[in-house]
Amino acid sequence: MIGKLTKEICGVELPVTVLESQAGFYLGTEDRGVPFSRESAEYFVTRNLAEAALARGKFTQRMNP
């Protein structure tokens, strides 16, 4: 899955992956190890929950950065 915000706003195709911040795990993109976009509206308590949401496509896609 390619990051929707990354592609629409920046014209760059980066894969969506599980990332972590102080708020929790989220689905987003990164470029050379640096977070680039947050694609999921929600944060997940565990990496496993975030990975499952990504695998199933069961997350709320953010429409704005």
Task: Decide the pairing of beta strands 24-31 and 34-38.
Answer: antiparallel
Q: pLDDT (tens digit, 9 = 90+) per residue, 13-61?
A: 999 999 999 999 999 999 999 999 999 999 999 999 999 999 999 999 9
Give Cα separations from 56 to 1, 30, 49, 51, 59 (angstroms). Answer: 11, 20, 11, 9, 8
Q: What residue numbers bound the domain in which 12 lies? A: 4-56
- For the chain, the straight-line distance linking the first and the last C-alpha, in angstroms and rounded, comes to 18
Q: Which whole number is the average pLDDT over 6-16?
A: 93
Domain count, the chain: 1
62 found inside a domain: no
64 found inside a domain: no
65 found inside a domain: no
Q: Contact, 20 vs 11, CB < 8 A?
A: no
27 found inside a domain: yes
In this prediction, residue 42 carries a pLDDT of 97
In this prediction, residue 25 carries a pLDDT of 98
Q: How confident is the model at residue 65 (pLDDT cuts 50, 70, 90)?
A: confident
28 found inside a domain: yes
